[in-house]
Chain A
Amino acid sequence: MDDDIIIITDLVKKFGDKTALDGLDLRVHRGELFGFLGPNGAGKTTTVRCIATLTNYDSGTIIVDGVDLKKNQTAAKNRMGVIQQQISLDKDLTIRENMISHAMYHLIPKKERDERIKELSDYFDLGEYLDKPVDSLSGGWKKRAAIVCAMLHEPAVLFLDEPTSGLDINARRLLWDVVKSLHAKGTTVFLTTHYIEEAEALCDRVGIINKGKIIALDEPKKLCENVGNVAVEYMDEGKTRYRYFKTDEEAKEFVSNLNNVSNVTIRATNLEDVFVEMTGSSVGSQK
């Protein structure tokens, strides 16, 4: 078996004359927890939708667990679970009916299905909501239900498109625990997020996407090293500016030469710095 569970080469996806993915190359190792970062509109969701076979792509190849999507979608679909960015439950049904539907789509036998629904909904504290209509739950609880749905068939790789946005701290921590325990069990997790500290804390490797291209891909620590391990932050004419240096000495020397600036801090570089440096914008401000 190949070491890489997802291999994307030269993926191009256009919406009319707008190019959403522009020759994307990406490999995700088997069993890793992969973080996928990028500003709004960078193409994260589009990438996930292409892999999840929700949309056709214009060119390039996607191979999931050794199966080329263009050749055998069904085999690939069995190995993937996807939690979409938007909540995608059927609001005319109850939570339990949604889960049963999902399990049925995967042709899971009844007994096994009921056991898994029970197990997972207990884990997420969903027990008392199971027979309620979807709309009687708040957004975060709906998300939990959607997560249970995507996990029922025990996929080899789980895609989470911004699973924690809109969740409260408790739910977010709970989700992190789920992600960690899945990871420990050997499931590959592909996590898209806007919370950079989440990626930094959880992920083995992160990829940063901007304008439909991967611009950085490595372990969080290595990415910081590449930018410079030491960050200097200072206020100049009312704007916060950042500079990065390989060593403390270089940073101190730079600071000692600064004039007319305030709020100078020297600190370790974090993933957020990498992100800002690479994408040339702060998170969420790019169209």
Chain B
Amino acid sequence: MTFLKEVYAVAWGDMRFLRHNFLSILIMSIMSPILYLVAFGYGLRSGSTDIGVSYVAFVIPGIVALSSLSSAFSSTSTRMNVQRLYYKSFDEMMMCPLSLSAIVVGKCMLGLVRGLVSCGLLYAIGLCLQPEELVLSPLFVLCVVCSCMVFSLLGMSAALLAKSHQSMGTFSSLIILPMTFLCGTFFSVSSLNPIFQAILYCLPLTHASECIRAAALPGAIPEFPWISLVVLLAFGVAFFILNHHLLKTRKV
């Protein structure tokens, strides 16, 4: 009970922030997924895929996975970075008698909510475009929630590890950007050579997009990749432990 109250207390300010800037955040988080959809889904339209659905239906769940990564990661990491390095209000929070787990979970809420908003909007558009092929199910929602949470936790790790705003940028372009394009978002990982595949299966977004796609296209992909969901959750637990550790051993 106390834990939930603490999580709420930690997340409250961020939710206020979201409310103050709702419209601009909304536009920001939906803009790039729509561009991807137009450019890759329609611009490069190439008929049907080897699993028997249209390429647009194939790519929409991929873009949902992608925007869960970019939205959740960037909003958590940017806000935390600013609070930690510029406003110093992160210190204020750290001086209060909150449990570290509550801080980790509470600080991820912004990313989770923003991720869900942009994924939700995008998928709503997707459902209108391909109503015969795409499916909205509880499993799909579960996968998207997990994915947003994992990437929000990753955003927090990045913010805690970053020494400056500059190093955040480096992290984004070295890890996040390649993930965005390669991890089964725009093409199926199984079409690559085995070595590449092995590398990509070490990244969380590959598992997220496999899960989200399978949940969105149950007709074309009858076997849900439960192992990928477990791996995704394992990434989440690992990031949680890492964040907890980073908060506990802060040097500066």
The interface of chain A, by Cβ under 8 A from chain B, is 15, 52-56, 73-75, 77-78, 80, 82, 84, 86-93, 97-98, 100-102, 104-107, 149
B252 touches A102 (CB 8 A): no
Closest chain A residue to B21, Cβ basis: A92
- 5 further A-B contacts with Cβ under 8 Å, apart from A89-B89, A102-B96, are A55-B250, A77-B96, A82-B95, A90-B83, A97-B16
Most buried by A among B12, B17, B97, B249: B97
B13 touches A97 (CB 8 A): yes
B88 touches A52 (CB 8 A): no
A181 to B14, CA, bound (A): 35
Shortest B82–chain A CB gap in Å is 8
Pick the residue among B21, B82, B92, B249 that contacts A102 (CB under 8 A). B92
Task: Point out the residues of chain A lying under 8 angstroms from B251, CB to CB.
Answer: 55-56
**Interface check B9, CB cutoff 8 A:** yes
**Interface check B211, CB cutoff 8 A:** no
Closest chain B residue to A74, Cβ basis: B97
Pick the residue among A15, A75, A80 that contacts B252 (CB under 8 A). A15
> What are 18 A-B pairs with beta-carbon distances under 8 A?
A54-B94, A54-B95, A77-B95, A77-B96, A82-B95, A88-B91, A91-B87, A93-B16, A93-B20, A97-B13, A98-B13, A101-B12, A101-B13, A101-B93, A106-B97, A107-B2, A107-B9, A149-B92
Provided the pairs A97-B16, A105-B9 are in contact, do residues A84 and B99 lie with their beta carbons within 8 angstroms? no
A105 touches B98 (CB 8 A): yes
Q: What is the total of A-B residue contacts with beta carbons within 8 Å?
A: 81
0/1 interface trace, chain B 42-76, chain A, CB 8 Å (1 if under): 00000000000000000000000000000000000
A107 touches B6 (CB 8 A): yes
Pick the residue among B2, B5, B17, B96 that contacts A93 (CB under 8 A). B17
A84 to B89, CA, bound (A): 10
Task: Point out the residues of chain A lying under 8 angstroms from B144, CB to CB.
Answer: none
What is the interface of chain B mostly: helix, strand, loop, or mixed?
A: helix
Task: Point out the residues of chain B lying under 8 angstroms from A97, CB to CB.
Answer: 13, 16
Task: Point out the residues of chain B lying under 8 angstroms from A55, CB to CB.
Answer: 250-252
Shortest B86–chain A CB gap in Å is 8
A92 touches B92 (CB 8 A): no
**Interface check B168, CB cutoff 8 A:** no
Task: Point out the residues of chain B lying under 8 angstroms from A92, CB to CB.
Answer: 17, 20-21, 82, 87
A90 touches B94 (CB 8 A): no
Task: Point out the residues of chain A lying under 8 angstroms from B10, CB to CB.
Answer: 105
Count of chain B residues near A, Cβ 8 A: 30
Shortest B249–chain A CB gap in Å is 6
Shortest B233–chain A CB gap in Å is 29
**Top 9 A-B pairs ranked by shortest CB distance?**
A105-B96, A104-B9, A88-B88, A90-B89, A77-B97, A74-B97, A101-B13, A92-B17, A78-B97
A86 to B91, CA, bound (A): 11
Shortest B101–chain A CB gap in Å is 12
The interface of chain B, by Cβ under 8 A from chain A, is 2, 5-6, 8-10, 12-13, 16-17, 20-21, 82-83, 87-89, 91-99, 249-252
B99 touches A74 (CB 8 A): yes
Closest chain B residue to A153, Cβ basis: B96
Task: Point out the residues of chain B lying under 8 angstroms from A74, CB to CB.
Answer: 97-99
A82 to B98, CA, bound (A): 15
Task: Point out the residues of chain A lying under 8 angstroms from B21, CB to CB.
Answer: 92
A91 to B89, CA, bound (A): 9
Task: Point out the residues of chain B lying under 8 angstroms from A84, CB to CB.
Answer: 88, 91-92
Provided the pairs A90-B83, A92-B20 are in contact, do residues A100 and B5 lie with their beta carbons within 8 angstroms? no
A75 to B5, CA, bound (A): 17
A102 to B94, CA, bound (A): 11
Closest chain B residue to A80, Cβ basis: B95
Shortest A170–chain B CB gap in Å is 26
A226 to B87, CA, bound (A): 43
Closest chain B residue to A87, Cβ basis: B88
Shortest A34–chain B CB gap in Å is 19
Task: Point out the residues of chain B lying under 8 angstroms from A90, CB to CB.
Answer: 13, 17, 83, 87, 89
Task: Point out the residues of chain B lying under 8 angstroms from A93, CB to CB.
Answer: 13, 16-17, 20
A74 to B6, CA, bound (A): 13
Closest chain B residue to A100, Cβ basis: B12
Shortest B78–chain A CB gap in Å is 11
